């Protein structure tokens, strides 16, 4: 090809050289990889609630019991768009609600599967989370005026162990390799009911879907 280029007339050489540069430079850029592997821990404060229909005059229940161990894989798309990431791990958290009669709190194990898009600038990342999760409700406790210290709920067919839903949120990361520090706010909404809708009445069903507003701080290390 280059032998043919030098045999061309002098006026045509600059044009063909520009074409070759436009073809070669993008091909070389596509070989650059932006893959990163992170492992970290995260904890925070949550406001837990349940959306009941019909309404039960419920209120949110705050909780400090939110801890996660997470693996994050950042990767590029087609070698040119380094904005994509995938995050998963294991989370211990709580769900709950409070009515005029009782406050009920569930202990929950959760596995998130999150697409974590990131936009890098200076030593920072803007994080955009969108994904789903699966959970297992291990146990629950009721707190009433008669039993302010709580009593464990006896789980039966009216209480649903398995939980799943969707999540989304925003965050900001400070990158000081090999460490990163993340601050995030995420909202999670369950698509699985928390109780049998016929628990309180066989004629008038009550539908309840948990939700959580979660604020967290995390520290990650580059592997």
Read off the pLDDT of residues 23-49 as tens digits, 9 standing for 90 and up: 443 443 333 457 999 999 999 999 999
Do residue 39 and residue 26 come from a single domain?
Answer: no
CATH code, domain with 71: 2.40.160.20
Q: Is the pLDDT of residue 161 over 80?
A: yes
How many domains, in total, are found in the chain? 2
Do residue 86 and residue 118 come from a single domain?
Answer: yes
Dihedral pair phi/psi, residue 86, rounded to 5°: -135, 130
Q: Is the pLDDT of residue 137 over 70?
A: yes
Lowest model confidence (mean pLDDT) among 25-34, 57-66, 120-129: 25-34
Mean pLDDT of 152-166: 91
Do residue 20 and residue 97 come from a single domain?
Answer: no
Cα gap 214→71, rounded to integer Å: 19
Dihedral pair phi/psi, residue 28, rounded to 5°: -70, -35
Looking at residue 185, the DSSP 8-state letter turns out to be: E
Q: Is the pLDDT of residue 4 over 60?
A: no
Do residue 140 and residue 182 come from a single domain?
Answer: yes
Do residue 45 and residue 16 come from a single domain?
Answer: no
Write out pLDDT tens, residues 195-212. Answer: 999 888 888 899 999 999
Q: Is the pLDDT of residue 194 over 70?
A: yes
Query: 9 is in which domain, residue-wise?
Result: 1-31
Do residue 191 and residue 140 come from a single domain?
Answer: yes
Residue 22 has a pLDDT of 40
Do residue 71 and residue 111 come from a single domain?
Answer: yes
Cα gap 162→192, rounded to integer Å: 8
Residue 33 has a pLDDT of 53
Cα gap 200→26, rounded to integer Å: 65
Residue 3 has a pLDDT of 47
Residue 77: pLDDT band by 50, 70, 90 thresholds? confident
Do residue 86 and residue 184 come from a single domain?
Answer: yes
Higher pLDDT, 23 or 71: 71
Cα gap 86→89, rounded to integer Å: 11
Do residue 4 and residue 46 come from a single domain?
Answer: no
Do residue 53 and residue 24 come from a single domain?
Answer: no
Mean pLDDT of 150-168: 92
Q: Is the pLDDT of residue 132 over 60?
A: yes
Do residue 13 and residue 106 come from a single domain?
Answer: no
Beta strands in the chain (DSSP E): 36-53, 61-63, 67-77, 81-98, 103-121, 124-143, 151-152, 162-176, 179-190, 207-222
Residue 109 has a pLDDT of 98
Beta strands in 122-161 (DSSP E): 124-143, 151-152
Q: Is the pLDDT of residue 6 over 70?
A: no
Do residue 40 and residue 121 come from a single domain?
Answer: yes
Average pLDDT, the chain: 87
């Amino acid at each position: 090809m280059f032998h043919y280029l030098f045999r061309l007339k002098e006026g045509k050489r600059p044009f063909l050289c520009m074409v070759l540069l436009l073809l070669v430079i993008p091909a070389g850029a596509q070989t650059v990889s932006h893959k990163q592997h992170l492992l970290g821990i995260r904890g925070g404060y949550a406001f837990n609630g349940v959306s009941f229909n019909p309404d039960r005059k419920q209120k949110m229940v705050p909780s400090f019991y939110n801890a996660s161990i997470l693996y994050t894989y950042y990767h590029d798309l087609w070698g040119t768009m380094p904005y994509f990431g995938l995050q998963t791990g294991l989370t211990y958290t709580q769900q709950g609600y409070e009515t005029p009669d009782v406050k009920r709190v569930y202990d929950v194990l959760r596995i998130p599967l999150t697409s974590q898009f990131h936009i890098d600038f200076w030593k920072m990342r803007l994080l955009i989370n969108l994904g789903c999760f699966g959970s297992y409700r291990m146990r629950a406790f009721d707190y009433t005026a008669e039993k302010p210290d709580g009593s464990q709920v006896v789980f039966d067919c009216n209480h649903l162990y398995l939980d799943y839903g969707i999540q989304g949120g925003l965050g900001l990361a400070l990158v000081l390799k090999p460490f990163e520090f993340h601050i995030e706010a995420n909202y999670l909404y369950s698509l699985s009911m928390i109780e049998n809708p016929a628990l309180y009445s066989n004629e008038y069903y009550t539908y309840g879907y948990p939700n959580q507003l979660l604020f967290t701080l995390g520290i990650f290390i580059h592997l």
